[in-house]
Amino acid sequence: MSRQGFIHDWQSVLRSWARFSWPGRFQIVRRNPLWVIDGAHNPHGIQGVVETLKLKAYRRFRWTLVFSSLSDKPADDMLRLLIPYMERIILTHVPSQRGGDPRELLTVAPTATIIEDPWEAVQKAFAVSAEDEAILTTGSLALLSYILEQRQKHVGNLVN
């Protein structure tokens, strides 16, 4: 674009990108422990999360995953992509008629813990994560919506 004369000040472009935020896309909700939410709800979106997890800034963390998906999504494929980067996995249920059964994912993640209520799953993730570790909540936009709604209700609980 700069060759065509559209961009004259690259420093301004870089400063703008540094301030750019896309809620629900690798959104840092809390630090110590780091809590990240991502609305990825298909394998392509999860692959984007994985690419971010590979970055040097995030490789140093031991991750706890809180995961749920809708029943019409390939949750097993999504979970398989995330497993290599996770220390602990907590499977939960999206509070919707379309929510997938977390027990069906035990074939992919046999050591996972199942906690039906998503907010309780997040609380458990905080309970088992040290301050220098990280928590990732992903798999469904409905899951994120519910979690953020619950977070608003419980201000002061799990919130910086």
For residue 91, what is the domain's CATH number?
A: 3.90.190.20
Domain count, the chain: 1
In a domain, residue 9? The reply is no
Rounded-to-integer distance, Cα 92 and Cα 57, Å:
27
Cα 52 to Cα 22, 90, 115, distances in angstroms: 14, 20, 26
In a domain, residue 117? The reply is yes
In a domain, residue 116? The reply is yes
Note the pLDDT tens digit of each residue in 65-80: 999 999 999 999 999 9
Rounded-to-integer distance, Cα 136 and Cα 74, Å:
19
Model pLDDT, residue 6: 57
pTM exceeds 0.85, yes or no = no
Model pLDDT, residue 159: 46
Better pLDDT: 102 or 153: 102
Residue 7 burial (10 A CB sphere; 0-12, 13-18, 19+): exposed
Give me the numbers of helices (H) and strands (E) for the chain, helices first please: 6, 6
User: Which residues span the domain enclosing 101?
Assistant: 24-153
